[in-house]
Chains A and B, each alone.
Chain A
Amino acid sequence: MALVEEIISVFNFIGSLVCHQRPDRTLWIGGHYLPVCARDTGAFVGLLLGYIMLLFLRRKQAKGPPNLYLSLVMMLPLWVDSFGQLFGFWTSTNYLRLITGLLFGAAVTPMLVYALSLSPLKGRIPLIKNIGPETAVLDDKDSWFDAKALCTSIALSVILFIAIIAIAGSEFPLFYWTLSITIITGIIWHFFVLPPLLLIVTLRKLFRKK
């Protein structure tokens, strides 16, 4: 029991590095608050959903960027909701934060992987080199992650949203662990692995040139 509490406090500590963790904005699942707020929960679950979608729905031979119009449609709600609240036009709700986060996360992953595939570091970053396009050409109209794939991401985001609000408030610990491990994995990859990796790969490339 003490170990479980210790792991939960480590999760909360990792979450505190990237999130305000305000209790009124954080979902209570499985007898505990999640390590991050509702919007960040959505974003990190959405990011993972994006990677899973990439595994199955990316068009390996295509060179063009993910569908830009749908990516924008998926990202804008979070932006509008955040700034609307920041400037005092309205107060968001946890459900709104969750769905906007989910859509944003699911749209960011293809953009992030594609952007890294365009960079000179292409092929040097683990995971990205496996799921990124073989050749990325920004002007190419043949989309590597097309509208159909993004629509599937939207549909799955909505299903996940319904699933999360259905389990919110429940006391079943499995739900807490499933979501928390997803969130913590997302934080570690995007904040503690990817940026240092980018730095190391860039420095190695620079020094090898010399």
Chain B
Amino acid sequence: MLLEQIIPLAIGQYEWFWGLGLLFCLVPLVWFIVAILLCIWVYRDAERRGMNGVLWLIIVLIAGIIGLIIYLIVRKDKTSAQGGPPPPPS
């Protein structure tokens, strides 16, 4: 729907500017790929740290960058997820 409005506008009103409208089609695609990669990273990172990967994936999917920041704040340290560092030799 949006593209139907943008492309005729770009081509009809500013002939020399039509490329911008087409370039704009790339934008959602690139940010969609970035969002998917980010969600995969959050899922894998959460699972590696002993957290609920699916839950965090959904939160980041819904809340976007806000969800990502909340995840980065609350995520467990790798060492505590693995039960802490080994005790020093006595």
Contact = CB atoms under 8 A, between A and B. Distances in A.
B26 A72 contact: no
Contacts of B31: 195
A196 B30 contact: yes
B77 A139 contact: yes
Contact of B66 (A9, A72, A195): A72
Contacts of B1: none
Contacts of A76: 66
B69 A72 contact: yes
B73 A69 contact: yes
A10 interface: yes
Interface string B58-76: 0000010110011011000
A71 B14 contact: no
Contacts of B26: 195-196, 199
B65 A111 contact: yes
27 contacts: A10-B14, A13-B9, A13-B10, A13-B13, A13-B17, A14-B20, A17-B6, A17-B20, A68-B72, A68-B73, A69-B73, A72-B66, A72-B70, A72-B73, A75-B69, A108-B65, A111-B65, A191-B24, A191-B27, A192-B20, A192-B24, A195-B26, A195-B27, A195-B31, A196-B26, A198-B34, A199-B30
Interface of A: 9-10, 13-14, 16-17, 65, 68-69, 71-72, 75-76, 79, 108, 111, 138-139, 191-192, 195-196, 198-199
Interface of B: 6, 9-10, 13-14, 17, 20-21, 23-24, 26-27, 30-31, 34, 63, 65-66, 69-70, 72-73, 77-78
